[in-house]
Amino acid sequence: MAQEVLVMGPIPAAQLEQLEQNYRIHKLWQAENPEAKLNEVRNNITGMVSTAFFGVTAKIIRALPNLEIISHFGVGYDSVDVKVAKEQGIIVTNTPDVLTDDTADIGIALTLAVFRRTVEGDIYVRSGQWIKKGPMPLGRSLRGKTMGIVGLGRIGQAIAKRAEAFGLNIIYHGPRDKKVSYPFVASLEEMAAKSDILMVACPYSADTHHLVDAKVLKALGRDGVLVNIARGKIVDEKALIDALEAGLIAGAGLDVFEKEPDVPSALCRLDNVVLQPHVGSATHEPRGAMAQLVVDNLLLYFEKAEVLTPV
Ligand code: NAP
């Protein structure tokens, strides 16, 4: 009998089709009454697919007595209760590497957009202000500035490589000195004080909840720009809005927010902020490769009890 796989949220169609060819799948996000659906299939489910927006709580894990594997679509797996999954002997996989470059590109795009005011520039042209008011106010150059990276992992390193090409100096903060060519700064506040751009690229966890708080933002200073391509809850959003409104920092580039897709109107009102709807990996190529990893992890697990990218 085919394995039964509970798919919590949408993944690209080609890979959903592959799942349908190999397993009996249940699309929970499409169910009229998800709770009733979960109750109906709970004893049959051996595999699961989760996403950043359609995660897996401890309650759901405990409701599925025969669950063996959660194949997560995304590198960040903070929407899955991995601790409880592991306690129950359930394997969790994610999709690293294939989205690194595209997410790093968004980090750089946001940095450039804030410094060179490209979104404001677009509005300036379209709204006719160029004709009415003449040249737009000047932006700021990136060359010679310092980028402090919070979390020099796969994406952090890919951002550093790109930033170097723009003439930026790199420093980084994380749980340990990785003995790389960039200087390590043990204190985040100290690193923020040395940075023109504070780039957040670490995972979200209890340890990183509101890691970037009012103190760190104050240290970043009046000319500093915060860029977050990691997870919204790593930054204290209220403190960020206060800092932006009070001019305590110069601007922000944000791909992620505390309560997506609910972005505070205070952020939307600010000219010195560039906002993106969580699109770090949102291009056809990595999304396809991520979904293929989701499928391949399930296939390999159910065939050989092995996985490609365990968490
Ligand atoms: P990764 O390779 O695991 O890198 C994470 C880095 O963060 C590691 O260098 C780690 O340090 C560091 N870190 C861990 N705890 C930290 C802490 N408390 N303070 C500072 N740094 C800490 O992960 P990745 O592939 O680069 O992805 C990073 C995150 O980006 C993901 O978890 C995900 O949430 C987010 N992301 C967002 C998007 C998007 O669409 N915006 C797309 C992809 C990923 P060590 O090396 O010392 O362990």
| 186-195 per-position pLDDT tens digit | 999 999 999 9
Q: Say if residue 282's pLDDT is above 90.
A: yes
**Catalytic member of 260, 284, 287, 303:** 260
**Spatial separation of the C-alpha atoms in residues 267 and 59, rounded to whole Å:** 34
Predicted pLDDT of residue 1 = 73
Q: What is the mean pLDDT of the chain?
A: 98
pLDDT above 70 covers a percentage of the chain that reads 100
One CATH from 3.40.50.300, 3.40.190.10, 3.40.50.720, 3.20.20.80 for 100-275:
3.40.50.720
Q: Is the full-model pTM beyond 0.85?
A: yes
Average pLDDT value for residue range 162-183? 98
Q: Say if residue 222's pLDDT is above 80.
A: yes
Average pLDDT value for residue range 26-30? 97
Average pLDDT value for residue range 110-126? 98
**Catalytic member of 72, 173, 278, 287:** 278
Beta strand 45-51 with 69-73: parallel, antiparallel or unpaired? parallel
Return the residue whose CA atom lies nearest to atom 30 of ligand 1: 230
231 is catalytic: yes
**Spatial separation of the C-alpha atoms in residues 28 and 38, rounded to whole Å:** 8
Q: Name residues contacting ligand 1 (CB within 6 A).
A: 75-76, 96, 99-100, 103, 150-156, 173-176, 178, 201-204, 207-208, 229-231, 255-256, 278, 280-281
pLDDT above 90 covers a percentage of the chain that reads 99
62 Cβ neighbours under 8 A, 6+ residues apart: 84, 88
**Spatial separation of the C-alpha atoms in residues 160 and 165, rounded to whole Å:** 9
Q: Do domains 4-98+285-304 and 100-275 have the same CATH topology?
A: yes
Average pLDDT value for residue range 273-297? 97
Predicted pLDDT of residue 272 = 95
Which homologous superfamily does the CATH classification assign to the domain defined by 4-98+285-304? NAD(P)-binding Rossmann-like Domain (3.40.50.720)
Give me the residue spans of the domains in the chain. Answer: 4-98+285-304, 100-275
Predicted pLDDT of residue 194 = 98
What ligand 1 atom has the least distance to the C-alpha of 202? 7
- Which of 140, 151, 259, 245 minimizes the C-alpha distance to 203? 151
User: Apex CA 170: angle with CA 165 and CA 173, to 5°?
Assistant: 145
Return the residue whose CA atom lies nearest to atom 36 of ligand 1: 230
Predicted pLDDT of residue 253 = 99
| Span from the CA of 303 to the centroid of ligand 1 (angstroms) | 31
| Span from the CA of 28 to the centroid of ligand 1 (angstroms) | 29
Predicted pLDDT of residue 49 = 98
